Structure 1
């Protein structure tokens, strides 16, 4: 009578082989007892989770059933009502093949050692015809025959061959398929075999090394040298660096490569590498090539990788690859069109860094005086005096955002920009056009009122970086960045800012701000380490650009009127007669003339003849 809990376990382990095969004519009946407390077989688990943990400890069995067995409570009542009658025979659930995460599969033939290798392989190939496969690393372990395949389709067909092939002795061949990779211990002997195999694959004339499908090389048939294993790849790179450091071309096609992080060392160990083939591998994303970006590649082959199929537009694929490898001339075997760039030598030196830039040195005194007066009022107790600094139709816009890693993590309380974020016009934050328009301040009263509500400050004038970009009689464009401290906030937090002023002449012979844009953010570590000073603003003499090297003489009133007349005609499209009338009626105030034109034009009050030239 068979022992309770018997039956051949389906989870085969190393050095564990079965002492019987299933004959085609064998028909045994096994009784099952469902008495409570009598489950004492070898496959006893306290819970289904315990059973799963036991399976995970071994290689992954590619068979799957409909789910875990559900224990029956109490005994089984037979047709006659007698307890503990034999359970009715259930239909066996068909097992399904499950694709494993690894590209290799172990094939186990229990009791295959008693047959010749050729007999077993011939029987499998006959069953799978016309499919063929290569049995890697065929060996025997106890009574079992073991080999590996590296194709999921072949592994599935071998899985389906289980118990369907009759052997000469009358037994059906049992075929067990597991997702498992052959093991190898990297030692000096293995490294020497790798070196000799790589030597025969090297072309000294072209300085090229062909490592295509390296693990399948006939000279490595007894060991598993897979380059997708980082330890093997790093050993191969060390051999290259030691013996062929001037290598220029490397072919790594069809090696089942996935992660490439460990290949970052290629740029330091093989500095002359310019051609790299990575086709027919398993590289999932273009970002996986990031460790190779420092290689001066002129040719790259990626066809056959999943990353290529992620691009629906081939031009975008080429563009994104070129961003990582700017010197690339050939991709996937096709010559690339010349890249659009600047004809600048690689060793060209940039001009020296300047803290400030002045397009015209004659504007140095004016800029210094203007900024000193402006921020003296801005940092005072009351900002109402700034009304004189702004044009009647001035506009003001402010944006605020956290920079660096602080945009991904809550900043400390002292560094938060709550006073600015709520009224920020950041285009990425405020998407509603009407809301964005309401946050734009128009008119000097609205601008100064808004500025007065911002926290009180003191600016580090000595640390300002000032750029004078436009300096003409009709317009001045001035940008600056630096730091300030909030004097009315607890702990006096420091802020970083960037500001742009567009300045125009006013009717009183002075200057007014027509447009003001402010950006506020948290300070960087470099800004926090610099000492905070409140001294006088200093603008070092800057070298002017050649086009405006000589300062222009101050224009006469007639020249100024002529210039404004031309600017108004360009912006409005009106002819000279109507432009002249508009400027005369506004007292030759260009900005006011433009404002009135826009208002009348929107109301349809400007006749068509004003645009006839």
Structure 2
């Protein structure tokens, strides 16, 4: 019996080289060299581009040295500088390393000496009771080559190396590499794919079953794996050309991973409503984004890694439904009806409005209340606001920065507000929360008086009247204001809520005041104190008289005129003569008078003598 001699060349290429002799008795003896700088050294040491593996073979059990041999300082018997022993019999223990691709090439050197059935029977006997399917079995030179599409099978075949003794006494060599078969999409291949699809198509249900398409017996001589984008796109073209009205497609068990190329499904298979993609390798739910435009009513994803990422099945269903809103069946189970609104799909949203009034009857009251309140609030003294608050009123303020603010900028600092902010996410202690809550109208007005002096953009207010009853009014507003006594007059954005109740004198008092302050956005700054004609509360038809708290309309009397005159003077700084002219021209409408003043003042059209008192 001839001696084996030598060792295995792990970099032998099955598709290009072959073993020319069955015995090696007269072969030239090999010489082992450890000289540094040998050509081809560390050729396959690292792989930085996994995509390169699509066309190259990798030796899964390479035992080549991974670096130059170091000189040893060992001084004992034997040659100096000899490499240290590597395990028993001078060999390192081999280890199977799974590849990044789902296909493995199995090479049997000298496999041509035996029939295909003999080789496969020997391998199946070693793997028993497990079985495997060899794909694309062929003989290259003196070697037998085939492919498997399962990593567990590949590892077991890798461990079968030199453990199977054939009838001639030689041990069977098994080389495992992570590689895919070569392919060339031509007319002949497309024709075979078309014929194979034809037998898998059910015209009655308009369903095409491509489950494990590459393993179909009619395709055993060609590589037709749908996980390769080129092959999948060719298959979609065949479907679109021959059965464009297809409604159901089964792609189970095809080792699908990336789905980016499947975005063509929505344009080429417009009637597709049922899609099965179970037992594949789809990693994340986001991988389904390329096909989310499909009007799917049934989807099957079980057996993919993405399903195992969800520990809560209800969240899994909810997230899948967000991508496919029309889904009624998922992973073989019916879904409960989706919660929706019984409206037409093409119905648009109602037009946007700046303010909302739950009851139009409150329009005049809200307008006058805001005008009077902010006329005093923006004046030199806020003490008159004592008359606006209830004896047991409470007030809180919160302040925070916008996420994109630079706190180092002088104009964006909120130091005057942050120090007194009752932000409940920041103030967690009960005593501190109580301390930052102002109780009683004296504390409220005293706190408001300490805040920076301001000028509000009344015409830019967005006002919502949420509750309007004879006993209580809930009013919210948001807008912008400028700080008048702060350098550079920084602009702020605010949101405020008033809860107003009736008092014993027949009027109304604020019993709860909540204020939130932050910096303005660029859009708010561009629109603030503009010269537009938008009013904070849009005009509405006069309501039918109801027993609600409204003020009498009409020309104000002398006492009311004097009150409006004082408010306008405090707000604008104009003298009495110019204030009277402004109010007379606007029909004693304080809000409109303020608007005209702001417009003319921003244009520099108000002379200096208007402010001489």
Distance 2:224 2:400 in 1: 52
Distance 1:238 1:302 in 2: 24
Distance 2:339 2:278 in 1: 27
- Indicate if the aligned counterparts of 1:460 and 1:534 stay in contact, CA closer than 8 A: no
Unaligned runs of 5+ in 2: 1-5, 551-613
- Indicate if the aligned counterparts of 1:33 and 1:86 stay in contact, CA closer than 8 A: no
Match of 2:466 among 465, 469, 476: 469
CA distance change for structure 1 residues 372 and 106 in 2, over 3 Å: closer, same or farther? Answer: farther
Deviations 1:538-594 (A, max 9, x none): 4113589xxxx85522489xxxxxxxxxxxxxxxxxxxxxxxxxxxxxxxxxxxxxx
CA distance change for structure 1 residues 87 and 295 in 2, over 3 Å: closer, same or farther? Answer: closer
CA distance change for structure 1 residues 247 and 82 in 2, over 3 Å: closer, same or farther? Answer: closer
1:562 corresponds to which residue?
A: none
CA distance change for structure 1 residues 86 and 494 in 2, over 3 Å: closer, same or farther? Answer: closer
1:500 aligns with 2:500: no
Distance 1:454 1:257 in 2: 64
Distance 2:523 2:269 in 1: 36
CA distance change for structure 1 residues 132 and 353 in 2, over 3 Å: closer, same or farther? Answer: same
1:581 corresponds to which residue?
A: none
1:608 corresponds to which residue?
A: none
- Indicate if the aligned counterparts of 1:357 and 1:467 stay in contact, CA closer than 8 A: yes
Distance 1:50 1:390 in 2: 82
2:367 corresponds to which residue?
A: 368
Give the Å deviation of 1:470.
0.6
1:586 corresponds to which residue?
A: none
Distance 2:370 2:391 in 1: 20
Give the Å deviation of 1:160.
0.4
1:72 corresponds to which residue?
A: 70
Q: How does 1:119-518 map to 2 (within 5 A)?
A: 119-141=118-140, 143-186=142-185, 190-191=189-190, 193-348=192-347, 350-380=349-379, 383-400=382-399, 406=403, 413=409, 418-419=414-415, 425-426=422-423, 435-451=432-448, 457-485=454-482, 495-518=492-515
- Indicate if the aligned counterparts of 2:251 and 2:277 stay in contact, CA closer than 8 A: yes
CA distance change for structure 1 residues 515 and 296 in 2, over 3 Å: closer, same or farther? Answer: farther
Give the Å deviation of 1:113.
4.6
Distance 2:461 2:130 in 1: 75
CA distance change for structure 1 residues 109 and 246 in 2, over 3 Å: closer, same or farther? Answer: same
2:61 corresponds to which residue?
A: 63
2:574 corresponds to which residue?
A: none
- Indicate if the aligned counterparts of 2:14 and 2:107 stay in contact, CA closer than 8 A: no
CA distance change for structure 1 residues 9 and 443 in 2, over 3 Å: closer, same or farther? Answer: farther
Distance 1:400 1:359 in 2: 29
1:552 corresponds to which residue?
A: 546
Q: Which moved more, 1:439-448 or 1:415-424?
A: 415-424
- Indicate if the aligned counterparts of 2:295 and 2:324 stay in contact, CA closer than 8 A: yes
Distance 1:301 1:202 in 2: 19
Distance 2:430 2:197 in 1: 65
CA distance change for structure 1 residues 82 and 162 in 2, over 3 Å: closer, same or farther? Answer: closer
1:105 corresponds to which residue?
A: 104
- Indicate if the aligned counterparts of 2:247 and 2:271 stay in contact, CA closer than 8 A: yes
| SS of residue matched to 1:273 | coil
Distance 1:253 1:141 in 2: 33
Deviations 1:123-145 (A, max 9, x none): 32232222221122334445543
Give the Å deviation of 1:356.
1.8
- Indicate if the aligned counterparts of 1:361 and 1:541 stay in contact, CA closer than 8 A: no
- Indicate if the aligned counterparts of 1:22 and 1:171 stay in contact, CA closer than 8 A: no
Q: Which moved more, 1:169-178 or 1:109-118?
A: 109-118
Give the Å deviation of 1:155.
0.4
| SS of residue matched to 1:311 | coil
Give the Å deviation of 1:157.
0.6
Deviations 1:2-29 (A, max 9, x none): xxxx964434456564759999999x99
Q: Which moved more, 1:285-294 or 1:125-134?
A: 285-294
1:606 corresponds to which residue?
A: none
| SS of residue matched to 1:97 | coil
- Indicate if the aligned counterparts of 1:415 and 1:522 stay in contact, CA closer than 8 A: no
Give the Å deviation of 1:358.
1.0
- Indicate if the aligned counterparts of 2:161 and 2:172 stay in contact, CA closer than 8 A: yes
- Indicate if the aligned counterparts of 1:24 and 1:170 stay in contact, CA closer than 8 A: no
CA distance change for structure 1 residues 127 and 343 in 2, over 3 Å: closer, same or farther? Answer: same
Give the Å deviation of 1:475.
1.0
2:609 corresponds to which residue?
A: none
Q: TM-score, normalised by structure 1?
A: 0.72
Q: Which moved more, 1:448-457 or 1:241-250?
A: 448-457
Distance 2:406 2:85 in 1: 64
Give the Å deviation of 1:161.
1.1
Q: TM-score, normalised by structure 2?
A: 0.72
- Indicate if the aligned counterparts of 1:11 and 1:55 stay in contact, CA closer than 8 A: no
Give the Å deviation of 1:62.
2.8
- Indicate if the aligned counterparts of 2:365 and 2:549 stay in contact, CA closer than 8 A: no
CA distance change for structure 1 residues 105 and 87 in 2, over 3 Å: closer, same or farther? Answer: closer
Distance 1:520 1:539 in 2: 22
Distance 2:361 2:57 in 1: 80
CA distance change for structure 1 residues 71 and 540 in 2, over 3 Å: closer, same or farther? Answer: same
CA distance change for structure 1 residues 325 and 489 in 2, over 3 Å: closer, same or farther? Answer: farther
| SS of residue matched to 2:287 | helix
Give the Å deviation of 1:361.
1.0
Q: Which moved more, 1:324-333 or 1:8-17?
A: 8-17
1:605 corresponds to which residue?
A: none
Alignment size in residue pairs: 536
| SS of residue matched to 2:122 | helix
| SS of residue matched to 1:326 | coil
Give the Å deviation of 1:504.
1.8
| SS of residue matched to 2:254 | coil
- Indicate if the aligned counterparts of 2:209 and 2:250 stay in contact, CA closer than 8 A: yes
Give the Å deviation of 1:362.
1.2
